[in-house]
Structure 1
């Protein structure tokens, strides 16, 4: 080998070191300390908001902050893609038994405005109109709008004598799908997403529970939909069964303690991970309150920490 070639690795190393301020690697901590904040980007007023979305969205943390002695644990954010929330402008159906309604990806104020236009264009006779309650009664049906369980969504019902009108729901679904739910805001008084009460973890008698600020029927329908979508990963989390009469679900879930044991086993070349069968039971706790409990459904014990972690994930699906 040429003597010149022998010196090339050393020359390259020295060149790299010369590019760094401290040693072989550039320490950029000072860059963040000395950084200055610039003015925020301002987009044109007349832009089509449907064409813009976050390039790198950060999921929000849902659930309550849990204090465990002197330690402080921040609840994990909902995983991107977890569950199947309704996209802005989209329409989905929900049903429990013979009850059916629509979930629209728009704030109730926008849905109310579009609903008023729907009634006007069809020349329906309005018997009663209550914008604050989101209720519009015609001689043919009772139309109602209320905030959905998902952030930025609304529930839209069309009923007659308490029974859903399928033709009306289909017509409304077609309309909102075509319009993209872009109606302007109206006088409908609703809670803004940041003001709404979210599901929160509570502890009674040493048992973690999830308090949901929605009635039993709506919570069951949304939770059934979300679990079917999110609990579909073999060996990690799977929806095994659901009982509408008992308002209960059976899931196979790889608990936090099992994941921790599996990591230790992988490091020491021991054993593997095994999901645990768990029963999720939903109970009414008042007119607009429900409680979700996690109970073991096999011979294994379900620790308090594992219950808390599972319920925290479910809270993210309802958030």
Structure 2
């Protein structure tokens, strides 16, 4: 190759490099120009956040003649005051946060006991419990001969226990709404008869189980199964009517707040007795014959203030104190308090305290505490709270104390 040829090749190479560089510069310029046209103030994807400032005001829409116009109204209208729990009769004050019930963090399934009664308490709705109980009976091959999903009743067929060949047994399972919201109670009733008695036809169920041991066996087995059941059974549509009505309601009787309990009297008396020993209440005395609890109450806020005023020193916090904790007491017995009630002569008071004979002319001095009065017939129990003289409390105070009792019912 001659020198002229080499020179020609070098010149062509340099020419091509210059052309490539010029093309790259032109391409870059075109991209930059394109970006500005896409994203700039005049570009397609410009910021339109302030366009509303330049918008024109148009006249309101007019409807044709003969057509009635309707103004825009609230979608969620504030209802009128109908709920007794929310009624405000005095100057409103923001209430303190209420303490959580002692049952708030309890296990989802547990066996509850009051006196001689035992039942299963499940922290869910009855419509969720119904299919789980049916599944328990099916898995254990317990024949079901009668169901009433509306009232939450399941009856088994006749069973034969291996350790008792002379008699046959039968169970009735009652699923119902609990006294607290979103709780379910499962009650078990057991009966047995001689093996030779025909097993068909109507069954006359006893008021309480014939065998407490047989009842306890079914309760324990059913509770254990429900506690470990993670299969996520579907909610029963048929059983959604169980527990439609609350068992506990806060209402009024001639302006006085009261609690209405849809329970039998024995259960109501026992559960109120449990409630007045929880969450600030102290039970001093009780009289089941006349249906009165004599109690004291100290709110959580009052306890906190006393603790601040009586804060122990450094050394006492290290070594503690030998002095026992002081519990508030009353200088009067319940019988003394009831014998000196200061009651207005009204039909309501005469009916509520008909069984109590008191001397109004000799009042006791500074009677502390409260009287929790339990009255009513089966499945219609009324709970009132009065001061130490059995006089009605301020409406707000009565509702506050009744709500504390309500949260601690079991």
TM-score bracket for the superposition, by shorter chain length: 0.5 to 0.7
Deviation per CA, 1:115-145, whole angstroms, max 9, x where unpaired? 1111112211222111111111112211110
1:163 and 2:213 correspond: no
Deviation per CA, 1:261-284, whole angstroms, max 9, x where unpaired? x99xx9xxxxxxx88322212222
Q: Which structure is higher in RCO with an 8 Å CA cutoff and minimum separation 6?
A: 1
When you count strand as a share of all residues, which structure comes out higher? Answer: 1
Partner of 2:112: 93
Partner of 1:176: 226
Whether the 8 Å CA contact 2:112–2:118 is kept in 1: the answer is yes
In structure 1, what is the Cα distance between the partners aligned to 2:220 and 2:232? 19
Partner of 1:202: 252
Whether the 8 Å CA contact 1:213–1:290 is kept in 2: the answer is yes
In structure 2, what is the Cα distance between the partners aligned to 1:203 and 1:65? 16
In structure 2, what is the Cα distance between the partners aligned to 1:133 and 1:78? 37
Residue segments in structure 2 that go unaligned for 5+ positions in a row: 1-82, 159-169, 191-205, 210-214, 310-327, 330-367
Deviation per CA, 1:172-197, whole angstroms, max 9, x where unpaired? 22222222695431134345889747
Partner of 2:184: 154
In structure 1, what is the Cα distance between the partners aligned to 2:392 and 2:380? 25
Count of aligned positions: 235
Kindly report which structure 2 residues correspond to 1:240-251, keeping only aligned pairs within 5 A, or say none.
240-244=284-288, 246-251=290-295
- How large is the RMSD of aligned CA atoms in angstroms? 3.9
Over alpha carbons, which structure has the higher Rg? 2
In structure 2, what is the Cα distance between the partners aligned to 1:296 and 1:180? 49
Cα 1:300–1:166, aligned 2, differ >3 Å: closer, same or farther? closer
- The match for 1:227 among 276, 282, 299 is 276
Task: For residue 144 of structure 1, give the secondary structure of its aligned residue in structure 2.
Answer: strand
In structure 1, what is the Cα distance between the partners aligned to 2:288 and 2:143? 37
Partner of 1:313: 404
Partner of 1:127: 145
Normalized against structure 2, the TM-score is what? Answer: 0.48
Residue segments in structure 1 that go unaligned for 5+ positions in a row: 1-61, 232-236, 267-273
In structure 2, what is the Cα distance between the partners aligned to 1:240 and 1:127? 49
- The match for 2:382 among 282, 291, 302 is 291
